[in-house]
Amino acid sequence: MAPKKNSAKRPQPSTPKPSAPARIVKVQSSDGHILQADVRALLLSSTLAATIKGYDDENKPLEKLEVNNVVGFTLKLVLEWCEKHKEDDPAIAQAEKDKKNIFIPSWDRHFLTKLPMGNLFDLITAAYHLDITGLINYGCKTVANSAKGKSTEEMRELFGIPEPWEQPSTSTATWDD
């Protein structure tokens, strides 16, 4: 087998394309909040991109997209992130997906680190449901960064798990599968 090379180079953003007029659609969260977003921002989500494509293929007018598994507060954060990254080349996030050491740009660092841990978890989960690779990458790395170098006690405090060796009663998760 030929030796693989370590891929240390960071992918470079592609040259920005001339911006087309914004196409705004309504997005409704699971708790009924209605927000507005540029379709280019929504295309960062593979899940929403497939839905939008479905409408476009059938020439149906797209008035409102329903996101049934994300609440309004979190959806607002997701859309804010997508709006900021709508010009990004999706290949960059895809290339970073398998890397152990990714670089978080300063805007994203500020955006993610200002969130309380619970909201950050909700945001990552929403990104996972909506399949937004870049947000998953940055979100997970931010959680990891906040846990790095911490002792068990500090991690327990960070994740809000008070008693040692006590299985949380709020969860039925086993992660066995």
Task: Pick the binder of another protein from 24, 50, 91, 161 (CB under 8 A).
Answer: 161
The secondary element (H helix, E strand) that includes residue 153 is helix 152-158
The secondary element (H helix, E strand) that includes residue 39 is helix 39-42
Query: Which residue number, 57 or 153, has a Cβ lying nearer to another protein?
Result: 153
Structure letter (DSSP) for residue 20: P
Tokens of 91: 């290949």
Question: Could you say whether residue 58 binds another protein (CB under 8 A)?
Answer: no
Question: Could you say whether residue 106 binds another protein (CB under 8 A)?
Answer: no
Helices 106-113 and 72-85, packing angle to 10 deg: 170
Question: Could you say whether residue 63 binds another protein (CB under 8 A)?
Answer: no
At its nearest, how many Å lie between another protein and the CB of residue 167? 5
From 12-20, 47-55, 107-115, 153-161, span contacting another protein (CB under 8 A)? 153-161
Residue 53 CA to its chain's centroid (Å): 20
Torsion of CA 124, 125, 131, 136, to 10 degrees: 20
Residue 34, strand partner residues = 28
Torsion of CA 24, 29, 33, 39, to 10 degrees: -10
Task: Pick the binder of another protein from 30, 47, 49, 51 (CB under 8 A).
Answer: 30
Per-residue binder mask for another protein (CB under 8 A), 6-25, x = binder: xx------------------
The secondary element (H helix, E strand) that includes residue 35 is strand 34-38
Question: Could you say whether residue 32 binds another protein (CB under 8 A)?
Answer: yes
At its nearest, how many Å lie between another protein and the CB of residue 134? 13
User: Footprint of another protein on this chain (CB under 8 A)?
Assistant: 1, 3-7, 30-33, 68-69, 71, 98-101, 116-118, 121-122, 124-125, 128, 136-137, 140-141, 143-145, 147-152, 155-156, 158-162, 164-168, 170-171, 173-177
